[in-house]
Every structure is written in C-alpha cells, then in structure tokens.
Amino acid sequence: MTRPSPVPQRATIVLPSTGEFDSRTYRIATALAARGHAVTVLARMGPGTHPDELHPSGYRIRRVGATAVDGLPLPAAIRQRLAARRFGPAGPAGDAPATEPSRSASSPATADGTVVGGRDDIARTPGLGGAARRARRAIGGIRRIAAMALVVRSQSRASRAIDDGADLYHGMAYMGIPVALALAARHPGARAVYDARDIYVDAGNLARLPGPVRRVVGSAERRWARRADGVVTVNLPYAEVMARRWGLPTPMVVLNCSFRYQPSQPRPRRFHEALGLPPDRRVVLYQGGFSPDRGIEQLIEAVPQVPGATLVLLGYGVLRAAIDRAAAAPAMADRIRVLDAVPPAELLDWVASADVVAMPIQPTTLNHRLTTPNKLLEAIAAGVPVVASDLPGMADIVRSTGCGVLCDPRDPAGIAAAIRLVLDAPDGGRAMGERALAAAHGEYNWETQMDRLLDLYTTLTGRPW
C-alpha cells in the first residue's frame, strides 16, 4: 500500500540517556528525517558527548545536564555549591541515574535511565537483622525514587530552555515520558506518545526494591501512560501486561526491528580483522548491555565446551571490568574477547560477521521472561542464526522463523550444546541464517514497523506523517 505524501511536521524524541547507542531512537529519527520532518532528539549529557550535534541521518541531537542536585528546588547558586561539594570542580560526571550505560560512568544506567547492576549492599551488610535490612532497603528505595524524580525535574527544566516546540513529542521510557508530557503541555495542539520499552517495575534494580516503593513508581507510570495521547511498546506480551495494569486499551506493538539489510557476499569478517582471530575460528557473538541476568556469565562458562569458537562480547556496561578479568584468565586465552559498543548505523555489519548470536537471557524477572531483545531482531536482520532463551518473548519468533535453536538459559552445558548444534550443522548454520534473512525482509523489519508508528502519529496530529 502506498502511503500518502507526508506533510512536514516537527517531532521531538525525549530520551533519558545520551542517545549514543539507542537503536530505537536512531531508527525512528532516521525514518522521520528521511520523510522530510524536522526531528530533534532531546537527550542527556554524558562523558565525551556534545550538547548540540547534527546526526549524519539528518536529525539534531541536543543534550542537557540532568542530575539530582540540579533538580533540587533551590536557587541556582546553592545548587552549584552543592554540586561542587559533592563532585568537586569537574562536576557530576557519574551522578546516577542520569547517564546511559557507559564505559566510563561510575554508576551505569540503562538506556531507559534505570541504574543497573548495582550490588544489593544493604542485604549483604554483616550484623544486620532481617528487620533492619528491610528498613534500610526501604530507605534506600525511597532515596532512589527521590533521586529519579529530581533527575526528571532537572531534565525537564533544562529541556524547556532549549525546546523549540513540536507537533509531537515521543517520550522514551518511564523517565522520558514525564519530560515529554511537560514539554507538550507548553504547546497547544502538541501530542505526546509514551514508548514503554520494558515492564519497568519488574526490570533491573527496580524489580529488587521493596513492594511499596515499586508501587509508587508503578502508580506514577500509570498516570503518565494515561495522560499520553498514545502508548506503544515493543512486543505483545508487554502490551498485555500494560493494558491490564494501567486500565488502558492494549498498546500498539512496534517491534524493535532493524532496517532491511543485505549482508555482503562473502560475509564481512570484522571480528577476525579487528581481533586477529585465525581464519577458521568461529565467532559466538553477544552484543548489547553488559548487565547482570543477560546470560553473559553463563556464556563465559559455556564457551570452553564449544571447540574452535571464540566468544566475542561487543557492548558496554557495569560488568565490563568483570568480563575483562574473565577474558584475561590463562584458561580463557583466545576463548573470550571484548570490544567496545559501535554506533547503531554500523552494528549490522558487525553482527553479520558472526557465526552465531547468543542471548541466554535469564528468567529472573517478569520483564526478562517476556522480553524480545533487540539483539534477536538484529541477528535476524543480519541473517545470522541465534541461540536464544526458551522464554515467551523470544521462543515464538525463533520457532516460527526457524532462525535458530532455543535453550535453557540457566544451564551452561545446554547453552554450549545449542551453540554446537548450530555450528556443527552440515551447512554451518547457513540454512538458519537464510531463514532469518527471509523473515527480516518479510515481517521483521523497521520499514514495516515504522508504518504502524506513522499511522499513529497521523491519527494524533491529523496530518499525514
């Protein structure tokens, strides 16, 4: 079906991170800019980022400082003195949860603004009884919520100063939507969309907070979702949970697929070239956030059981130091290699260089049990077979497309067996990869998913996008 010609409009995507590696934001902004719309991404400053830049795809990224100190309802001079006292002259470089997962941040956070990977130090404090531990966890949870609220307030205040107005504000994640709503309220006729990319109260560190604290966060998110003019999410299992919890119609599902992609022939060999791997070495790729419960620890234990294979970990996050130590162990010589994350525009060329992409995400939270991870859809886009967790958000796609093998993510031996099943197939997994690429060129591509989003935008503003 041919889409109507777009009427140029203004879109602002509000992101609670630096946006350097946020693939969903990149795809939305790129697609809108290509259709002639003026697109601005309002993000946060982080180490090495620039406050104002033009992306090669034609959209603008503007970044602001966003810290809990900046969000305090105090005069600017007092806030500056508090920041200097806490952080020194260099400023709040790692004031969580204001930053995206970063190789240099001291308290990394997800692209949705949630701090991840922190140890539950309170629970491990020696000498504390159960009641004392629960009390301290509750106090810690309250402080966490207060910090998040202040960071949102800080980003809202700073964003208002540079916001030029838009027809539509697209708020990413539970720390992006309140900023988007606040900005949209300043411009009559502007619409706001909530992009709920996870079940946040059941994800990351929020899932480990005391129940009453989580309910406060859940109540705030429900209010924001109901205030938004539209709600979208990344898969049907998430949508069903959100509709039930928020008392809303089922949110629109916009899968986090990649643009249609045709890998070069012969396949690129980026990992072999970058790492100096032997020509016959097979690459098992994990790419994405280096966070707990993503299956990284299980993959490290599994790879010695896969002859002739090297596990390459491509990404960023709180587990980086631990991964580097594991890779440096004499027993893991040439079995584990680590590379920094690459920009979204380059990612598929790297993924296409792997022999198999592994994602044994652990079923530790509701969010993880239902997740459809980006790395699954990126592997499908690149035509690379997968080894994935046998969990609801992934299993149906893997089975229906025939793109890989499912495993029990808790069992390193089972993960290794699944990887061998792909690599030791008579065709080396080529048929699985071809089925993956066919699925990507059919249903699982960003062009198809973006059409759904364009339809929603058109309904909200009354003019074709």
Q: Of 49, 101, 98, nearest to 320 (Cα)?
A: 101
SS3 state of residue 120: coil
Alpha-carbon span 397 to 411, nearest angstrom = 21
Could you tell me which residues come within 8 angstroms of residue 113 by beta carbon, excluding any fewer than 6 positions away? 16, 17, 97, 98, 148, 151, 173, 174, 175, 176
Question: For residues 282 and 419, what is the distance between their CA atoms, to the nearest angstrom?
Answer: 11
Do residues 160 and 454 touch, judged by C-beta distance below 8 A? no
Q: Would you identify the CATH topology of the domain 270-442?
A: Rossmann fold (3.40.50)
Question: Under CATH, what is the fold of the domain 10-69+98-257+449-461?
Answer: Rossmann fold (3.40.50)
Residue 42, H or E segment? strand 38-44
**What CA–CA distance (Å, rounded) separates 55 from 34?**
12
Count of CB atoms situated within 10 Å of the CB of 212:
10
Give 287-345 as a DSSP string. Answer: EEE--TTSSHHHHHHHGGGSTTEEEEEEEESTTHHHHHHHHHSGGGTTTEEEEE---HH
pLDDT number for residue 81: 67
Q: Give the pLDDT score at 84.
A: 58
Q: What pLDDT does 110 receive?
A: 45
- Given the DSSP bridges, would you call strands 60-64 and 52-54 parallel, antiparallel or unpaired? antiparallel
**Cα 324–Cα 330–Cα 332 angle in degrees, nearest 5:** 65
Q: How much is the pTM?
A: 0.85
Q: Token pair 């299956």 is at which residue? A: 295
The pLDDT, as a whole number, for residue 1 is 64
At position 437, the amino acid (one-letter code) is L
The alpha carbon of residue 319 and the mean position of all alpha carbons in its chain are separated, in whole angstroms, by 16
The tokens for 109 are 């956070």
C-alpha to C-alpha distances, 431 to 28, 282, 387, 435, nearest whole angstrom: 31, 17, 14, 6
Cross-strand pairs, 309: 282
Distances (CA, A) of 260 to 62, 63, 368, 445: 28, 29, 26, 6
- pLDDT per position in the chain (465 positions), as tens? 678 999 999 999 999 999 998 999 999 999 999 999 999 999 999 999 999 999 999 999 999 999 888 778 867 667 666 655 654 443 443 333 333 333 332 233 444 444 333 333 323 444 556 777 767 766 777 888 888 889 999 999 999 999 999 999 999 999 999 999 999 999 999 999 999 999 999 998 889 888 988 999 999 999 999 999 999 999 999 999 999 999 999 999 999 999 999 999 999 999 999 999 999 999 999 999 999 999 999 999 999 999 999 999 999 999 999 999 999 999 998 899 999 999 999 999 999 999 999 999 999 999 999 999 999 999 999 999 999 999 999 999 999 999 999 999 999 999 999 999 999 999 999 999 999 999 999 999 999 999 999 999 999 999 999
219's CB contacts (< 8 A; 6+ apart) are none
Q: Are the CB atoms for 422 and 357 separated by under 8 Å?
A: no
**Tokens read off for 25:** 């934001």
Strand partners, 169: 12, 192
CA 31/CA 28 separation, integer angstroms: 5
Q: CA dist 72 to 100, 133, 150, 191, 351, Å? A: 21, 28, 6, 28, 43
Cβ atoms within 10 Å of 34's Cβ, excluding its own? 14
What is the residue extent of each domain of the chain? 10-69+98-257+449-461, 270-442
Identify residue 143 by its one-letter amino acid code.
Answer: R
Note the pLDDT of residue 208: 86
Tell me the HSE value of 188 on the side-chain side, using a 13 A CA sphere: 0
The DSSP result for 127-155, as a single string, is T--HHHHHHHHHHHHHHHHHHHHHHHHHH
| Interaxial angle between packed helices 430-442 and 374-382, expressed in degrees from 0 to 180 and rounded to the nearest 10 | 100
Kindly state the tokens that stand for 465: 């996008």
Is there a common fold for 10-69+98-257+449-461 and 270-442?
yes
pLDDT of residue 111: 45
- Residue 136 CA from chain centroid, whole number: 30
